[in-house]
């Protein structure tokens, strides 16, 4: 779907302007994230399309200006849509897919900091914590972005905080 098709579906001119800026700024990064997970360009395009549809539905919750919050939101939604697509294809395979990790293969910081402990968390926990505490979204908003319930988000946050505390304790840090 092209940018024009997304914009035609929106009635509010300010939403169109913000969506266009979001689309132009982050579509490449979102594609890169989805392609890294799916290892297939066509599937990555599908995941990015689904992510933009979700963003278009929830434009009232997208930050007014481009920046780290908008970038994190766009990338998180693209990553979640790619993982959902990956899982759906695993349940209903049409061709052989190689086993892929569901997150980036990143070198973890080893300095015992909070960043290192966050990087060691599973992607779902890390994403929800960042959306909640770094970006300031409430559980209902996060649930809308991730296609889950606010209660499930609350449970993920509880488990993530518990896991983060254990990571920090293992590294000799305190919360």
Domain residue spans of the chain: 1-100, 106-175
What distance in Å separates the CA atoms of residue 42 and residue 89, rounded to the nearest whole number?
13
In this prediction, residue 112 carries a pLDDT of 56
Q: What fold does the segment set 106-175 form as a domain?
A: Arc Repressor Mutant, subunit A (1.10.10)
pLDDT digits (tens, 9 = 90+) for 124-154: 999 999 999 988 999 999 998 888 899 999 9
pLDDT at residue 1 greater than cutoff 60: no
In this prediction, residue 171 carries a pLDDT of 77
Provide the whole-model pTM.
0.61
pLDDT digits (tens, 9 = 90+) for 71-126: 999 999 999 999 999 998 888 765 444 444 444 444 545 555 788 888 889 989 99
In this prediction, residue 113 carries a pLDDT of 77
Place of tokens 């929830």: 58
What distance in Å separates the CA atoms of residue 23 and residue 66, rounded to the nearest whole number?
11
In this prediction, residue 89 carries a pLDDT of 85
Q: What fold does the segment set 1-100 form as a domain?
A: Rna Polymerase Sigma Factor; Chain: A (1.10.1740)
In this prediction, residue 154 carries a pLDDT of 95
In this prediction, residue 100 carries a pLDDT of 42
Give whole-number Cα distances, 33 to 85, 118, 145, 155, 161, in Å. 13, 19, 17, 26, 25
Residues 6+ apart with CB under 8 A from 61: 137, 141, 144, 145
- Which H/E stretch holds residue 141? helix 139-146
Place of tokens 């009232």: 60
pLDDT at residue 7 greater than cutoff 80: no
- Beta-carbon count within 10 A of 89 CB: 15
Query: Do residues 38 and 47 make contact, with C-beta atoms less than 8 angstroms apart?
Result: yes
In this prediction, residue 95 carries a pLDDT of 45
Mean pLDDT of 53-81: 93
pLDDT digits (tens, 9 = 90+) for 9-42: 777 888 889 999 999 999 999 999 999 999 999 9
Residues 6+ apart with CB under 8 A from 122: 103, 163
């Amino acid at each position: 779907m092209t940018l024009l098709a997304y914009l035609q579906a929106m009635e509010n001119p300010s939403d169109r302007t913000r969506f266009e800026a979001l689309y132009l700024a982050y579509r490449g990064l979102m594609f890169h994230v989805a392609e890294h997970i799916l290892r297939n360009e066509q599937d990555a395009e599908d995941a990015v399309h689904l992510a933009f549809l979700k963003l278009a539905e929830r434009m009232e919750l997208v930050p007014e200006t481009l920046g780290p919050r908008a970038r994190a939101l766009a990338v998180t939604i693209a990553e979640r849509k790619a993982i959902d697509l990956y899982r759906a294809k695993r349940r209903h395979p049409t061709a052989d897919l190689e086993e892929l990790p569901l997150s980036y293969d990143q070198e973890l910081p080893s300095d015992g900091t909070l960043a290192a402990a966050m990087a060691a968390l599973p992607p779902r926990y890390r994403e929800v914590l960042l959306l909640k505490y770094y970006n300031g979204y409430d559980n209902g908003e996060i649930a809308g972005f991730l296609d889950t319930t606010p209660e499930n988000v609350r449970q993920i946050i509880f488990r993530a905080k518990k896991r983060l505390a254990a990571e920090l304790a293992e590294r000799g840090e305190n919360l």
